[in-house]
Structure 1
């Protein structure tokens, strides 16, 4: 008797996660699966569950897999899943909440400090034989105000780091619970007006798409640093470029983009005031294991509830 199938939209899964899924046959879609590849595998194998690593899950994929009962994200963001379609079809959607919190918070810290300390620029200058000590000054973060948009597992982890750096921490999240004492809960307008650094840690929804737009930047403190380790769709990329050109935004550290992989050429390419990384904030050895285990446990738990 064949085992029910779990489809993974990636080329691998942590061994600990594989062991959790021992009662299922695991089918992998490959390193960079296209929508057509995943659709074909859904049609061929009719999986009981899907672990989403790369790409997205559409209503069409759900329709060609009538046995599908759960879609489990290998991470925390579920915006690449058609959740309305899943709800209509009685398919559970789960995320490995907090599994990559440490990794992403550390990456936000790396981007913030790289921006404030001009690490990339000075690295290039020093490698080229220049010695800019007498002519260049960087920014000190101690005593500055950071505004966090989103206070989930990642946002709160980053808040703790910033508090330890003697930064004043403001947070905007109407859904957050148990906000720590060192975070001052404020409205979004206060984040704009008071923050020297703004860091995004919220999910992408239809309501907050391109939240950081021309009007948003117009209300920010001049010279603000923008950090995004959440979702690229939260930022109007053209508006950000204009804000950097005008000096409203001094630097941006970005790990996610409206379209991924980034289009080449991209309007951000070559801009020395923008530090770019390829949505790699949550990609560490530890997070890889944690996310795989979290995703696998969610699959097993959902299927146990159903049966």
Structure 2
């Protein structure tokens, strides 16, 4: 409601579950009809819901992909918004051809994702998975512990957006130094906590921990493959809280089995959800989580608030900051 007048009745469909309660409150106050599906709905279900509801907006949470056919399902569609930052599950080029802007909640969950990357790094360095299982199994032999300090180590960030900058700031009090590779970032993006390196190869060779924070684009798909892993130290860890497709998973499995790197902490996979028989599950030097780095209650609330406010602003014809708009690459 603006100036005491209720907005015209818009319909918003959330694919993969509803937004947080605070986001629903925003829509309710504005008179918006908010509908949602369950996680990973079937394509025909999505098309039918959009067609029958004549939705003006789509919010993308947990769905395999929003393609041109889905985008055409509602003749009144005016905006599609990602409930998060990564838009690889949206056909952005098709949306542009249809004149439908794509929005992303840039930076809303950055702190939570950075904390999760930190947790994966610490879990690997301190052997938390194996030590937990060891004690639960009746063990108490400290000589078997192979954990290490991170003080004096080098953290290498592939991508220096808001998540990367937050992670670099968290690593500094541990006594780590941070280097970063990001050919698209201006100098000021590196801030006081990270030093720029000119090439990915230089970063991989120098880092004790490599953490991925780049978007998924044609240029970054399989960015970390057998060649790149071969450049890393044998004692190094790989952390991925970005997108699973950035890593050649088969090459990573082979490297972990052969001991070419010390371990990996993975929060994202390709595809998602991953197969039940994924070979990563059997490897003792891997920590995994189900792509939840950015879905703490605090982050989910902030993402929902940002997404809902941006969707409502666009439907009202109000101006939005350029950083929220996603354009075809």
Aligning the two structures, in what range does the TM-score lie when normalised by the shorter sequence? Answer: over 0.9
Q: Which of 78, 82, 89 pairs up with 2:91?
A: 82
Q: How does 1:116-265 map to 2 (within 5 A)?
A: 116-177=125-186, 178=188, 179-186=190-197, 187-265=199-277
**Structure 2 residues not aligned, in runs of 5+:** 1-6, 320-329
Aligned residues of 2:8 and 2:31 also touching (Cα < 8 A): no
Q: Which moved more, 1:23-32 or 1:273-282?
A: 23-32
- What is the aligned partner in structure 2 of residue 44 from structure 1? 52
- What is the aligned partner in structure 1 of residue 17 from structure 2? 11
Shift of 1:66: 2.0
Q: How does 1:47-86 map to 2 (within 5 A)?
A: 47-55=55-63, 56-86=65-95
- What is the aligned partner in structure 2 of residue 107 from structure 1? 116
- What is the aligned partner in structure 1 of residue 31 from structure 2? 23
Shift of 1:10: 2.9
Shift of 1:23: 3.0
Shift of 1:12: 2.1
Aligned residues of 1:46 and 1:65 also touching (Cα < 8 A): yes
**Structure 1 residues not aligned, in runs of 5+:** none
DSSP 3-state at the match of 1:91: coil
Shift of 1:37: 1.9
DSSP 3-state at the match of 2:112: helix
After TM superposition, the runs of 4+ consecutive aligned structure 1 residues lying more than 6 A away are none
**RMSD over aligned Cα, in angstroms?**
1.6
Aligned residues of 1:92 and 1:302 also touching (Cα < 8 A): no
Structure 2 CA distance for partners of 1:43 and 1:180, relative to 1, 3 Å? same
Shift of 1:246: 2.0
- What is the aligned partner in structure 2 of residue 98 from structure 1? 107
Distance (Å, rounded) in 1 between the aligned partners of 2:140 and 2:170? 31
Q: Which moved more, 1:271-280 or 1:175-184?
A: 175-184
- Equivalent pairs counted in the alignment come to 307
Is 1:287 the counterpart of 2:299? The answer is yes
- What is the aligned partner in structure 1 of residue 312 from structure 2? 300
Deviation digits for residues 183-239 of structure 1 (CA, Å, limit 9, x no counterpart): 111121111110010001111011110111011111112221000011000011110
TM-score, normalised via structure 1 length: 0.96
DSSP 3-state at the match of 1:175: coil
DSSP 3-state at the match of 2:281: coil
Shift of 1:122: 0.5
Structure 2 CA distance for partners of 1:161 and 1:78, relative to 1, 3 Å? same
TM-score, normalised via structure 2 length: 0.90
Shift of 1:304: 2.7
Deviation digits for residues 67-105 of structure 1 (CA, Å, limit 9, x no counterpart): 111111111111110000011111111111111111111
Aligned residues of 1:95 and 1:298 also touching (Cα < 8 A): no
- What is the aligned partner in structure 1 of residue 325 from structure 2? none
Distance (Å, rounded) in 2 between the aligned partners of 1:231 and 1:135? 34
Distance (Å, rounded) in 1 between the aligned partners of 2:146 and 2:227? 30
